[in-house]
Structure 1
Amino acid sequence: MADGIEGWAGRHWRWLTALAFILVAAWLLYQRWALIQGFAPVDTDDHMRIMQVRAWLAGQGWFDLRQYRMDPPYGANIHWSRIPDLPIAGLILLLKPFFGGAMAEKAALSLAPFLPMAVTMTAIAILARRLLSPPAFALGIAILFCAASVRGMWMPLRVDHHGWQLAFLSLVMLGLADDRRARGGLTVGIATALSLAVGLEMLLYLALAGAAIGLMWVRDGGEARRLAAYGASLATGTALGYLLFASHANRLPVCDALSPVWLSAMSAAGALSVLLGLFVRGGALQRLGLAALGGAALAAGFALAWPDCLGRLEGVPPELQRLWLDNVKEARPVYTHNLQTIVMMTTLPLMGLIGYAMMLWRTRRDGRRLTRWAALAALALVAAALLLWQTRAAAAAQLLAVPGAAALAWILVPLLRRRASVAVRLAGVALLFALITGVGPQWIASRFAEKPGPMRRAVGAANTRCPSIAALRPIARQPRGYVLTFVDLGPRLITMTHHDAVAGPYHRNAEAILDVQRAFRGSAANARATVARRGIDYVLICPNLSESTIYKNQAPKGFYAQLAAGEVPGWLQPVPLPKDNPYKMWRVVKPGS
């Protein structure tokens, strides 16, 4: 009976995958309905993406990605790409004639994240079929849905570029495991080019995937077609991505986006791959020597041509690193977080590594399958290790762990099915799935979570209330002006009101971010100088918002701490707000006013 069901599922996997997509999308809409109704994206990047799309639809140039509502009149330098803007803008234009502008925008922002979700789910389904068995697609999709960090990138209103980065990474995984070599190489090359055109967050994994294709070729000369196809599509795709999507700012030799730096590097890597794949016919040792020589030449050429890009790609000044970037939560190692977060982020990657190890052992005598599993395992191992550096690697680590975790379940479930008792089999499978996906350990960890104290409750309340439409509505009623407020509030402020802001959390705008940091940390006189130099009209704070706790803890006598305590200098005039409003706002008293 079970074999019959599995066989039926394996034959109808496309329809079942589509059904799973619809059910997951419906569930996520239900989960986020309140936020959708309140138009409350949870991340600053989502707000900036909204503003980027609005500006483009209002006539801003295709290659001009500056946000002129921030750091006026120069505008904030945003290093992103138009690629994620396309489906959002398309949905808005499609729906606007039927629902009006505001509703069309809300619907577009709710539906757009499902597009990369569909790509990822399909890629994982095909990958599980290729690596394990046709019915295993359902296991891959189920584990993927339980990957909390990945799932979070598909939530309605989550319209930044990370969902697309994960989608392209899933296609890279798919190409590495493709038995049709030329098609696999094309898939990896095109997905790599698209990912780089969107951003460089996945650069390390993409480079490892390219190295894996090279090592496949070293081991088996028959992989030459995969290597050549990869190189041709990488070089061509990156060039097209640069020509079509690189902004004016990214036409300069910057390190943090697809620019002449990475265009030259990927073009050279692609050309080398084509040359090796098409013209080298020697043995494995000769292939290894030539590949090593070519890789060394690429590395040396990059170091000589672009020495400034050998360190961290953000290239922020030390002061900005200390005052701002070191305090960004997702930039901290996983072990600095609470137990529940640690368990949520690490369980699936660890289960995936166990599954990969088991598959490497089981396929040790099958060279073709072994290389596929080894390539994916290497990417998963690096991603898991990166969690010890920054938790922003969690989504990629969980995605890359899915094939390994699915393999672990595929190996262990049959052992449980041999049990005589139906109840034992069902309970065993449920417990095993809860363990592998991390759902069970997360639930256990939540039982031991410390109850939040008064301060944590106050911060949580502020984080919920301050970005709300109700809280910002009185702010929006004030005459338009230039506002000094928190870095993390900047994108929400310009999205929901007509005011301009000094800065948002975007590293290219170091001086603007530093002005905010120095103003709230320094003396009132220092803040006054910044306000005068920039022509600020208002000062706006929301006490107990997460960012404010940093200012209060690290600069207890600074300008923010004084304002929060009611010590307001004479050059600020209070702006009346409703009593239940979480904000405090002041108008700057300018000379002669």
Structure 2
Amino acid sequence: MNDKQHGDASLTQQLDRNWLSLTLIAWAVIAAWFVWQRWPAIHWLSLGDTDDNMRLMQVRALLNGQAWYDLRQYRLNPPVGFDMHWSRIVDLPIAGLILAFRPFVGTALAERLACGIAPLLPLSVAMAGLAFTVRRLVSPFAWPLALIFLLMCAATMLMFMPLRIDHHGWQLACLSLTVAGLADPLQRRGGITVGLASAVSLSIGLEMLPYAAGAGAILGLRWIWDRAEAERLTVYGLALAGGSAIGYVLFVSAANAALRCDALTPVWLSVMIEAGALLFILARVNPASRSVRLGLAAGAGAAIIIAFALVFPQCLGRPEQVSPELAANWLNNVREAKPIYAHPWRGALTVAALPIIGVIGALIATWRARRSDRFAAWAAVLLFTLLAGGLLLWQVRAGAAAQLLAVPGAVALGWVLLPWCLAHRSVLVRVFGTVAGFLLVSGAFIGLVIRFAVPDKPSTNTKAVNRAGASCPTIPSLGVLNRLPPQTIFTFIDLGPRLITLTHHSAVAGPYHRNGAAILDVQHGFKRSADEFHAIARRHGATLLLTCPNMAESTVYTVRAKNGFYARLVRGETPAWLEPVPLPKRSPLKLWRIH
């Protein structure tokens, strides 16, 4: 063996033997880069999403002595507040980082550092899960390609960026472990991984419920096809039921002890325990006949559905259980809850390109593995990838998960195409073919297509909305309100969480379905007459009115209620009981005192 061959062998051995430590080193480098790149946003605590602001408020309340099982937010709709449907799981790493940094840098900087670093922690889990999956299904040396492809998943990576402290990153990490468990050749380890990952994800929130159900169904299909998969199904059932029960006892709020449909309440806990117990029983019985196994599995599925419909009929509709008026005026209009075909083609194509490539790659890989011991695992990954892609036709918010689950299939496709290009006789194919192949299988070509397509010029109104959305919810803009004594401020629904995060004031409402009555009060106040606004504001104890002209939400009130209170206020028709409160000259906000 010459020196070059020896070096190549040594490199492949290192990639195979030290894949996990190398993955974590890569994660550390990537995390450091993102923190450095986004440091200005971290410095200004630019929590861009309402959920990120509410997460920080939940952590602050915990560190300030609010009870572990009390997740009520008292500074929205004071004095009673409202119960968040989240759990404490995602609060823990943020709170831990704040406590670790606070003695050295003070509370303010500790919060900024925690919000910058915490979202990157689940990225390490997601990277490890995908690396494991690709090693098992494609090649022991293909995992670096999986990490590269993951970094190019725009929708997925947004959930791991600094300041994105909401729970979606941790749920995507659980999803990565789920697909790793489906691909694991060791039945006991694979079943436990899928069961516990599903249980943790459901304990965080119900967003990934379709994926948890899909993973369980896929494991059931594997057992129906091959009764030798009984051990995997047995431990999965135990892990799902036991993990869900532990998650409920340790992390779920006291308010979620009610029979609600929007979180891991006794409703969904009973479903998980029932499903886990039935799967455990089926796997232990394990009849020899495939048709009998199919019949038993179908009967178990029917029993779960019938029991759910009979015992919890209130949960057969949408889980938020909001009023028809709130659904029509707010929830049905949430952009991320609309199907992908209802979005502009540029955004839709950016989200859907990699999932389509991932499905094609998984199809080819499954066909190529049809006579190998990897067939069952590839078939499971293919079904999971198809499920994720199909959910895009339901809600575009499935895009982050669909892109993540597309990575194994895309890597499998690249592992066939790229070596062929690199080994080709023609230098043109080796150079340009390899580049083109990489752009194709990674989905990066979509960025070039959009860049050179007909430019999408935003309208003047869109530019004004974007400027308002960027300038109003900032520390310089909102921080001046701290000069006033703490009080309740009547403001836009989407500005409420940011207001209570950056100031000592309270707000009437935030965009959360359990805060539905207050949301309707804000909408009614802005859309109806000045007298009705005055009565609603007084009922909530609001003494100040804060607006952000041209903020996206404001356009709803000016366009849909042209004779309402807010539209008239914009036109300069100010009631006598509103007194302007001076703000700095360049402030994008407007403030009035309510008499």
Say whether the fold is shared (TM-score over 0.5).
yes
Give the match's secondary structure for 2:82: coil
| 2:405 equivalent to 1:403 | no
1:343 and 1:438 in contact (8 A); partners too? no
Separation in 2, partners of 1:370, 1:132? 12
Taking the TM superposition and a 5 Å limit, the aligned residue runs for 1:116-515 are 116-366=122-372, 368-422=373-427, 424-447=429-452, 448-515=454-521
1:91 and 1:104 in contact (8 A); partners too? yes
Give the match's secondary structure for 1:585: strand
**Deviations for 1:118-176, whole angstroms, at most 9, x for unmatched residues?**
10001111110001001110111111111011100111111110000101111111111
Counterpart in the other structure of 1:42: 48
Structure 2, gaps ≥5 residues long: none
Separation in 1, partners of 2:339, 2:280? 39
The list of structure 1 runs, each at least 4 consecutive aligned residues, that deviate by more than 3 angstroms after superposition, is 1-8, 421-424
| 2:126 equivalent to 1:102 | no
Shifted more, 15-24 versus 204-213: the winner is 15-24
**Deviations for 1:454-503, whole angstroms, at most 9, x for unmatched residues?**
21111111111011111112222222211111111110000000110111
| 2:57 equivalent to 1:56 | no
Of 536, 539, 549, the match for 2:542 = 536
**Deviations for 1:292-315, whole angstroms, at most 9, x for unmatched residues?**
111111111111111111221112
Change over 3 Å in CA distance of 1:556–1:30 after alignment to 2: farther
Give the match's secondary structure for 1:451: coil
Change over 3 Å in CA distance of 1:30–1:444 after alignment to 2: farther
Change over 3 Å in CA distance of 1:325–1:118 after alignment to 2: same
Change over 3 Å in CA distance of 1:30–1:344 after alignment to 2: farther
**Deviations for 1:393-431, whole angstroms, at most 9, x for unmatched residues?**
111111111111111111211221232244532332222
- Aligned residue identity for 2:419: P
2:418 and 2:438 in contact (8 A); partners too? no
1:252 and 1:260 in contact (8 A); partners too? yes
1:347 and 1:436 in contact (8 A); partners too? no
1:340 and 1:442 in contact (8 A); partners too? no
1:217 and 1:224 in contact (8 A); partners too? yes
Separation in 2, partners of 1:383, 1:567? 51
**Deviations for 1:215-256, whole angstroms, at most 9, x for unmatched residues?**
111111111100000011111111111111111110011101
Separation in 2, partners of 1:263, 1:80? 15
**Deviations for 1:414-453, whole angstroms, at most 9, x for unmatched residues?**
2212322445323322222222222221232133331222
- Aligned residue identity for 1:265: V
TM-score normalised by the chain length of structure 2: 0.96
- Aligned residue identity for 2:157: R
Of 532, 552, 566, the match for 1:560 = 566
Q: 1:6 deviation in Å?
A: 4.4
- What percentage of aligned pairs have identical amino acids? 51
- Aligned residue identity for 1:294: A
Of 575, 579, 587, the match for 1:573 = 579
Shifted more, 251-260 versus 5-14: the winner is 5-14
Give the match's secondary structure for 2:592: strand
Count of residue pairs the alignment pairs up:
588
Q: 1:546 deviation in Å?
A: 1.4
1:143 and 1:402 in contact (8 A); partners too? yes
Separation in 1, partners of 2:541, 2:21? 59
Give the match's secondary structure for 1:159: coil
1:482 and 1:499 in contact (8 A); partners too? yes
**C-alpha RMSD over aligned residues:** 1.5
Separation in 2, partners of 1:268, 1:158? 35
- Aligned residue identity for 2:125: V
Shifted more, 345-354 versus 383-392: the winner is 383-392
TM-score normalised by the chain length of structure 1: 0.96
